[in-house]
Structure 1
Amino acid sequence: MNPTLFDEDLLKTIAAEPRRPLLFVNATVHTLDPVIGHLTGADLLLGTREIVGVGTGLHTAAEDDGAVVVDCTGLTIVPGVVENGTVAGLRRRPSDRVGTLAPGNPATFAVISGALDLEHVIWRPEQAAAIVVDGEIALVDGRRLAPTPIEPASASPADSPYLGLWIDETGFIHQELAADGRYDEARGGRPHAYQGSFWIEGDRIVYRDDLGFWAYGSFRDDVLHHAGYVFHRR
């Protein structure tokens, strides 16, 4: 277990600015997703309640995104998936099945040392370095930080209407979605900051960056929402 995963200063920062993205870096990530697979030295980026991106290279945009960085060197991140959708006793609604650690899914997972496995954490969550439920840090080194939540009772790119240049509201990010299924993103005047492939199905877009990480976004009323940014077409 890494005793400095969440020191008091880091926890205070997260509590004071709950809307800042959380970025877990340098971890071994078992996504359980058949496409993304098992990742080493990877990063996991959270929005508020969902996973925004997973893979290598995400930490290079931490400053751009204003993310709070959590160093997980030597630790493993696993999905919080057990029977009936319960996560180490921290969830109550059986219908909430967490699923894999893929972009767009709920940010619910355990951070564990190499000596622990998921089954062990399910029954002894206090032995995990941390447990995150829906993007909220629920438990750190056996100390519960959040109460148990109680819930109330693609088409091919060439055919997509969303191709073209998208620019965020500040003008900092320019993202070009091309008909060949490739995207090219400039940041702060820095060309080709990120490049990779994308897939669009309905109003959802999934990115696979050439650096190795995955991310996603959604289109609503001809506006692209991606990684906490709002883009308009130009």
Structure 2
Amino acid sequence: MTDVPVTFTAADLQAVRTGTSRPLLLTDATVHTLDPVIGTMKHADVLIGGGLVVGVGPGIVKAADDDGAVVVSATGTTIVPAILDLSAALTGRPRGEGPGTLGPGAPAHLVVLADTDAPDLDAALRIALTGPDRLRAVLRDGVPLVWDGTVLNPASQPGGTTGTDGGGAGHVDPERVGVWVDTEDFLHQELTADGRYDETRGGRPHAFQGRYWIDGDRIDYLDDLGFWAFGRFDGDTLHHAGYTMHRRHAR
């Protein structure tokens, strides 16, 4: 039986967290870059700096000391982009622009899996999408979100709820409670102090109703029908689903 290398340990994570100003180097992995020129590389290193992939390929580790990089062994793992851009794959775009590859210049969004879960690219992408408990690591802009299979910053439900069928108020900003009306007077959206919203559309009352949560300038909606939507506040303006709304003040 072949021993599985010990990678992405707690000590590695501590080194990454304390070395945030230093480059991060993942070494000795199979890397599916999805870059049309580079392709897939074996025993490759991925150098990350400033939230970007700085370099990829074998031999980068030789300069790790010169660059003061935090080095994490990725032996026995496969690395793939965490974001896939099918439009770029179909139509092309200038190299190094936007997410979707692990080529130099691309954002450092990546997923790390054990080689045993990723014998080829298709398997790697399938596990990345369907097996979150089997991910060795996930990085966004070079910042670890998952490490050794553990979610470091679990995404909680808005308002601290544990599902989509419960009750209870969400995050409510008292300064934004009230009725918001679009510029054409078609959409009226009332945000109430108990974390509920009630929409009137074209004079049709209660067209949509549900719960809402406000986090900074973002508002998330969970309609009673089960769908999610969002909007953004810009000062005294609320942008939602193509509508520009202002709060109607009581007369």
The TM-score with structure 1 as length reference comes to 0.54
Q: 1:104 aligned to 2:111?
A: no
Aligned to 2:55, what secondary structure does the other structure show?
A: strand
Ranked by relative contact order (alpha carbons within 8 Å, sequence separation 6 or more), the top structure is 1
Identity of aligned residues (%): 42
Give the letter for the 1:111 counterpart.
Answer: V
Could you say which residue in structure 2 is the equivalent of 1:70? 72
Give the letter for the 2:70 counterpart.
Answer: V
1:157-179: CA deviations, max 9, x gaps?
A: xxxxxxxxxxxxxxxxxxxxxxx
Q: 1:135 aligned to 2:128?
A: no
How well do the aligned residues superpose, as a CA RMSD in angstroms? Answer: 2.9
Matched residues, number: 142
> 1-side partners of 2:127 and 2:4: how far apart?
17
Could you say which residue in structure 2 is the equivalent of 1:118? 125
Give the letter for the 2:135 counterpart.
Answer: A
Change (3 A) 1:111 1:151: farther
Change (3 A) 1:30 1:9: same
1:55 pairs with one of 51, 54, 57: 57
Could you say which residue in structure 1 is the equivalent of 2:170? none
1:179-228: CA deviations, max 9, x gaps?
A: xxxxxxxxxxxxxxxxxxxxxxxxxxxxxxxxxxxxxxxxxxxxxxxxxx
Summarize the alignment of residues 167-178 of structure 1 with structure 2, pairs less than 5 Å apart: none
Whether contact under 8 Å (2:22, 2:70) holds in the other structure is yes
Change (3 A) 1:152 1:27: farther
> 2-side partners of 1:82 and 1:33: how far apart?
11
Whether contact under 8 Å (2:29, 2:74) holds in the other structure is yes
Q: Structure 1 residue 6: deviation in Å?
A: 2.3
Q: Structure 1 residue 7: deviation in Å?
A: 2.0
Which runs of structure 1 show a deviation greater than 4 angstroms over 4 or more consecutive aligned residues? Answer: 82-85, 150-153
Aligned to 1:111, what secondary structure does the other structure show?
A: strand
Whether contact under 8 Å (1:74, 1:114) holds in the other structure is yes
> 1-side partners of 2:217 and 2:74: how far apart?
34
Q: Which runs of 5+ in 1 are unaligned?
A: 86-96, 154-234
Change (3 A) 1:151 1:71: farther
Could you say which residue in structure 1 is the equivalent of 2:189? none
Q: 1:8 aligned to 2:15?
A: no
1:44-90: CA deviations, max 9, x gaps?
A: 000031100001110000000001111111211111124799xxxxx
The TM-score with structure 2 as length reference comes to 0.51
Aligned to 2:64, what secondary structure does the other structure show?
A: helix
1:144 pairs with one of 151, 172, 196: 151
Whether contact under 8 Å (1:25, 1:42) holds in the other structure is yes
Q: Which has the larger radius of gyration?
A: 2
Could you say which residue in structure 1 is the equivalent of 2:45? 43
